Every structure is written in structure tokens, then in C-alpha cells.
Amino acid sequence: MVRVAILGASGYTGGELLRIFTIHKHVEVTYATSREYAGKPVHYVHPHLRGYYRLNFSPINIDEIANKSDVVFLALPHGVSIKYVPELLEMGLKVVDLSAVFRLKNPKDYKLWYGYEHPYPDLLEKAVYGMPELHREELKNAFLIASPGCNATASLLALIPLVKEKLIDLDHIVVDVKAGSSEGGAKPAPGRIHSEKENSIRPYSVEGHRHVAEVEQELSKIAGKKMKVGMSPHAVSSVRGALATAYTWSIDESISEMVVWRAFAKSYAKEPFVRIVRGGLTRYPDTKFVVGSNYADVGFAIDKRVGRIISIAAIDNLMKGASGQAVQSFNIMMGFDEREGLEPPPLRP
């Protein structure tokens, strides 16, 4: 049994980790931290988990965490986990960080996208970007997993087959992401309360969301050249879900649907959590049919009139976009079946 500590366990992603681990055969959650709710039981913040845990939230105590755990998941706000990760690694613990602190390989990118000089460039090189569809082999030997962002995950899953098979103009890619309100976290903020967000479709970071740095990094590795991608996200009034619609231009105006279909099948036919959507109740991926699960639904359309290939990916931003993908990567790192704890199907309706 692997002993797991969750830092930041009172937030949405921390709560999802706790929920997943209730059915994980190889994990015991032995430590869960919360600064605000220290001393209170887990179900005080996560009432849906009442009866599943006899565990109280604790403050962060590195020595106690080291004594009680083998692997530490950090579900902390961006910029906070960097205070703890180096020390946890020095103590011999394996770490899965759900923040952006170790996702980018080039230290200069942190100055550009996050506004600070990264103090641990050596750890950036050693961290494994936690996307199994791209880095499954590296994850097997990882000790520090940098779990991807939700917008980046959806965007990459929409684009990987097209870039891999060189079907598109790599210099002109635009991604539109629609994201549910849970992407903003559990803390209320101006403009994010229900009365302000309900019935709203609101663009933000229109000139370029910082998750695009991850998309460019990973696609550049696949393409073998430096790539730039335009990304504009929109907040929508749904609670969960991220839908990435990628607009690309084919290098062959006569390209057929079968060619694109084969590209998607080649990339994802053996992936346990990627489903290719063609037909059915809805013709294209829809976040409604992945909510509560670690599945990503992907699909595409061809606009022959203007030579576009539109590719789409739908995920639950808290699962495949955060905690579910983190556990999938953890499973690979630990040598477990990567589906462990993640097999329940999506909810409907």
C-alpha cells in the first residue's frame, strides 16, 4: 500500500484526489493539509466524502509528511508548491505537482509567462510533463511529475494527431477553449460569484493564456521546430468541463476525412482514456459526456471550402484536466495499471 499525502486537500483538485483515492486499491491517504481548515475533518469541506475518511486536515509539516507518506500530491495555488517540492524530493519522496511550477523546461519561459525567475532550473530538466499520451515511458522512471494544465491538456489532445502526421500548416494554429467555472478554483473572487457568471460566456486572457506555453513546448517537440499557437479561452457558466476547438489549415486542400480519421486512430487507438467521437447523439465531443471521468473525447471536421481542419477535445477540467490525469501519471510512475481508481464511467444526464 502506497501512503499518499495531499497538500492543499481542501480545494477542488485536492477534493478530486481524495474522491479518486476512495476506490484506489493501492493507496492510503495518510495526510491531507489545509491552512484554513486545519483540525477539521475532511467531510467538513467535502461533504460528499462523508464516511469515506477518518482523517482531519492538518497544517503543512514537512517532517510529519515525510514520516507518514511515500508520495506527495501538491494541489496548491501556483507559486506555493515551489516552497516545498525541493525539500520533499531531498527527503526521498516522490512528488506529483498539479501547479505550473515545473511544467516548462526553459527557465526563461517563467519570466515571460509567469513573471519570475525560476529558482530551480535543474528540477525543470528532471521533471516529467505528466501527459501519458506523450510521456508514458518517461513517467515510468519519474520522481517529479509536473501535471499539465486543463486548457493545455484539451488543446494538446485536439492537436497531437494533426501535428504528428504533418497534416496542417504548423505556422497558423488557433485554439478556442471554453472552460467551466471550477477552473477558477474554490475561492470566490470579483466577477466569479454565481450572479455574475451565470448565463455568461466571457472571454479572458484573449491575447494568450499562459497555458499556451505548455502547448507550444509539447507540440514543438513533436514537430521538431519551434511552434507558436494562438489561444483564447472563454469562461462559461457550466461548473465542469473544458472544450478546446482548434482551427488549423490543411497542407492538402483535397484531404479526406479518412486520412484525418487514421491520424487520430494512430495516436489514440491504444489510449485507455481517449475516445474518438464520430456520430451518435452528438456528432462532436461534448463536455457533458465526460463529466466526472478521466476520459477525453476527441473529434474533428473538415471545412473543404476554406481548407480548414477543425479538431475538438472535451474533458472534465478537474479530472483529465487536473486530478484524474495526475493519478493516471502516478499509476504509471508506481507501476500500477494506469486505469486504477479512474474506471468509473462519466455521469449522464
Grid coordinates given for 71: 508520495
Q: What pLDDT does 121 receive?
A: 96
Whether residues 130 and 170 share a domain: the answer is no
Give the C-alpha separation, 277 to 143, whole Å.
35
Torsion angle defined by CA atoms of residues 64, 68, 73 and 78, in that order, rounded to the nearest 10 degrees: 0
> For residue 208, what pLDDT is reported?
82
Q: Which of 27, 144, 150, 263 is catalytic?
A: 150
Q: Do 248 and 166 belong to one domain?
A: yes
Residue 110 falls in the annotated catalytic set: no
Mean pLDDT across the stretch 143-169? 98
Tens of pLDDT along 83-127? 999 999 999 999 999 999 999 999 999 999 999 999 999 999 999
Same domain, 226 and 137: no
Does residue 205 have a pLDDT over 90? no
Q: Is residue 11 one of the residues assigned to a domain?
A: yes
115 and 187 share one domain: no
Q: Which domain holds residue 240?
A: 150-316
Query: What is the count of structural domains for the chain?
Result: 2
Based on the fold, state whether residues 140 and 154 are members of the same structural domain: no
Categorize the per-residue pLDDT at 248 as very low, low, confident or very high, splitting at 50, 70 and 90: very high
Q: Is a pLDDT exceeding 80 seen at residue 192?
A: no
- The CA–CA distances, whole Å, from 283 to 7, 237, 279 equal 40, 22, 4
159 and 139 both lie in a single domain: no
Question: What's the pLDDT score for residue 99?
Answer: 97
pLDDT digits (tens, 9 = 90+) for 232-241: 999 998 899 9
Its pTM stands at 0.96
- Model confidence band, residue 279 (pLDDT cutoffs 50, 70, 90): confident
CATH number reported for the structural domain that contains residue 266 in this entry: 3.30.360.10
What does each C-alpha distance from 146 to 64, 135, 209 come to in angstroms? Answer: 23, 11, 18
pLDDT band at 131 (very low <50, low <70, confident <90, very high): very high
Specify if 339 maps to a domain.
no
User: Are 43 and 60 within one domain?
Assistant: yes
Kindly tell me if the per-residue pLDDT of 186 is higher than 80: no
Q: By mean pLDDT, which of 52-56, 75-79, 92-96, 228-232 is the weakest?
A: 75-79
- Say if residue 74 is in the same domain as residue 176: no
- 159 and 276 inside one domain: yes
At residue 281, the pLDDT reads: 78
Q: Which residues of 73-100 are buried (b: 16+ CB within 10 A; e: fewer)?
A: bbbbeeeebbebbeebbeeebbbbbbbb
Q: Which three cell numbers stand for residue 218?
A: 509539447
344 domain residue, yes or no: no
Give a yes or no: residue 341 inside a domain: no
Tell me what pLDDT residue 233 has.
Answer: 94
Q: Is residue 345 one of the residues assigned to a domain?
A: no
Judge if 154 and 276 occupy the same domain.
Answer: yes
Question: Average pLDDT in the 208-230 region?
Answer: 96
- Whether 59 is covered by a domain: the verdict is yes
Cis peptide leading into 349, omega within 30 of 0?
Answer: yes
Mean local confidence (pLDDT), 292-317: 97
The mean pLDDT value of the chain amounts to 95
64: in domain: yes
In a domain, 32, yes or no: yes
Residue 39 has pLDDT above 80, yes or no: yes
- pLDDT of the residue at 26: 98
Same domain for 133 and 8, yes or no, is yes
Based on the fold, state whether residues 303 and 167 are members of the same structural domain. Answer: yes
* 321, amino acid identity: G
Angle between helices 212-223 and 150-164 (to 10 degrees): 20
CA distances from 271 to 184, 209, 266, 283 (A): 29, 27, 10, 21
CATH of the domain at 21: 3.40.50.720
Residue 196, pLDDT > 90, answer no
